Amino acid sequence: MQAVSPTATGVAFLARPGRPAVVARTLAELAGPTRGVVELPVRLMWNAERTFDLGDPDQLLWMYENVLRETTRAEDLRSLINGRTLRRVWRLLNLPRGVRQAWESRHRGLRAA
Protein backbone atom coordinates (compact mmCIF):
# COMPACT_ATOMS: atom_id res chain seq x y z
CA MET A 1 0.00 0.00 0.00
CA GLN A 2 1.16 3.47 -0.74
CA ALA A 3 0.14 6.44 1.32
CA VAL A 4 -0.80 9.80 0.00
CA SER A 5 1.51 12.57 1.05
CA PRO A 6 -0.55 15.71 1.36
CA THR A 7 2.46 17.70 0.19
CA ALA A 8 2.31 15.81 -3.13
CA THR A 9 -1.14 17.29 -3.70
CA GLY A 10 0.13 20.80 -3.01
CA VAL A 11 -1.57 21.02 0.39
CA ALA A 12 0.39 20.23 3.53
CA PHE A 13 -1.75 18.98 6.39
CA LEU A 14 0.44 18.54 9.44
CA ALA A 15 0.06 15.93 12.16
CA ARG A 16 2.40 18.12 14.19
CA PRO A 17 4.79 20.94 13.30
CA GLY A 18 7.11 19.76 10.54
CA ARG A 19 5.43 16.36 10.07
CA PRO A 20 2.88 15.80 7.29
CA ALA A 21 -0.05 13.57 8.11
CA VAL A 22 0.10 10.16 6.43
CA VAL A 23 -3.11 9.10 4.69
CA ALA A 24 -4.04 5.80 3.07
CA ARG A 25 -5.04 5.88 -0.58
CA THR A 26 -8.21 3.85 0.11
CA LEU A 27 -10.04 2.78 3.23
CA ALA A 28 -10.31 -0.73 1.79
CA GLU A 29 -6.54 -1.12 2.13
CA LEU A 30 -6.76 -0.67 5.88
CA ALA A 31 -6.90 -4.28 7.03
CA GLY A 32 -5.95 -3.93 10.69
CA PRO A 33 -7.44 -6.09 13.42
CA THR A 34 -10.99 -5.63 14.66
CA ARG A 35 -10.67 -7.57 17.92
CA GLY A 36 -8.13 -8.79 20.39
CA VAL A 37 -5.22 -7.01 22.01
CA VAL A 38 -2.80 -4.89 19.97
CA GLU A 39 0.59 -3.65 21.11
CA LEU A 40 1.84 -0.53 19.38
CA PRO A 41 5.52 -0.13 18.57
CA VAL A 42 7.44 2.44 20.60
CA ARG A 43 7.67 4.75 17.58
CA LEU A 44 3.89 5.20 17.79
CA MET A 45 3.40 5.16 21.56
CA TRP A 46 6.14 6.10 23.98
CA ASN A 47 4.21 5.12 27.08
CA ALA A 48 5.11 1.86 28.83
CA GLU A 49 1.43 0.89 28.48
CA ARG A 50 1.25 0.33 24.73
CA THR A 51 -1.32 -2.46 24.61
CA PHE A 52 -4.94 -1.87 23.65
CA ASP A 53 -7.94 -4.16 23.97
CA LEU A 54 -9.98 -3.48 20.84
CA GLY A 55 -13.08 -4.77 22.62
CA ASP A 56 -12.97 -1.71 24.88
CA PRO A 57 -14.35 1.26 22.90
CA ASP A 58 -12.22 3.81 24.78
CA GLN A 59 -9.02 1.84 24.18
CA LEU A 60 -9.85 1.41 20.50
CA LEU A 61 -10.31 5.18 20.11
CA TRP A 62 -7.07 5.89 22.00
CA MET A 63 -5.13 3.47 19.80
CA TYR A 64 -6.56 4.88 16.55
CA GLU A 65 -5.82 8.44 17.67
CA ASN A 66 -2.20 7.56 18.42
CA VAL A 67 -1.62 5.68 15.17
CA LEU A 68 -3.23 8.36 12.98
CA ARG A 69 -1.36 11.15 14.75
CA GLU A 70 2.07 9.55 15.11
CA THR A 71 2.63 7.36 12.07
CA THR A 72 5.11 8.23 9.37
CA ARG A 73 4.64 4.87 7.61
CA ALA A 74 1.85 3.65 5.38
CA GLU A 75 2.47 0.12 6.64
CA ASP A 76 1.37 1.18 10.14
CA LEU A 77 -1.97 2.28 8.74
CA ARG A 78 -2.49 -0.96 6.84
CA SER A 79 -1.56 -3.25 9.71
CA LEU A 80 -3.12 -1.37 12.64
CA ILE A 81 -6.18 0.48 11.34
CA ASN A 82 -9.30 -1.19 9.97
CA GLY A 83 -11.13 0.80 7.28
CA ARG A 84 -14.67 -0.15 8.35
CA THR A 85 -13.89 0.52 11.99
CA LEU A 86 -12.28 3.84 11.12
CA ARG A 87 -15.42 4.95 9.29
CA ARG A 88 -17.58 3.87 12.25
CA VAL A 89 -15.55 5.75 14.90
CA TRP A 90 -14.33 8.71 12.81
CA ARG A 91 -16.47 11.38 14.49
CA LEU A 92 -15.47 10.14 17.95
CA LEU A 93 -11.72 10.49 17.36
CA ASN A 94 -9.86 13.38 18.96
CA LEU A 95 -7.37 14.24 16.22
CA PRO A 96 -5.20 17.24 15.41
CA ARG A 97 -6.88 19.49 12.85
CA GLY A 98 -4.24 18.69 10.22
CA VAL A 99 -4.76 14.94 10.53
CA ARG A 100 -8.54 15.27 10.28
CA GLN A 101 -8.28 17.61 7.28
CA ALA A 102 -5.80 15.35 5.48
CA TRP A 103 -8.01 12.28 5.87
CA GLU A 104 -11.25 14.07 5.02
CA SER A 105 -9.75 15.72 1.94
CA ARG A 106 -8.69 12.31 0.62
CA HIS A 107 -11.71 10.33 1.88
CA ARG A 108 -14.67 12.65 1.55
CA GLY A 109 -17.01 9.97 2.91
CA LEU A 110 -15.46 10.41 6.33
CA ARG A 111 -16.95 13.91 6.56
CA ALA A 112 -20.42 12.38 6.57
CA ALA A 113 -19.49 9.38 8.74
* Tens digit of each residue's pLDDT (9 = 90 or more) over 75-97: 999 999 999 999 999 999 999 99
Region 66-71: what's the mean pLDDT? 96
Coil/strand/helix, residue 92: helix
What pTM does this model have? Answer: 0.87
Residue 28 reports pLDDT greater than 90: yes
Average pLDDT over residues 20-32: 96
Partners of residue 20 on adjacent β-strands:
14
Confidence at 32, pLDDT banded by 50, 70, 90: very high
Instruction: Report d(CA 2, CA 41) in Å as an integer.
Output: 20
Please give the pLDDT value at position 2.
46
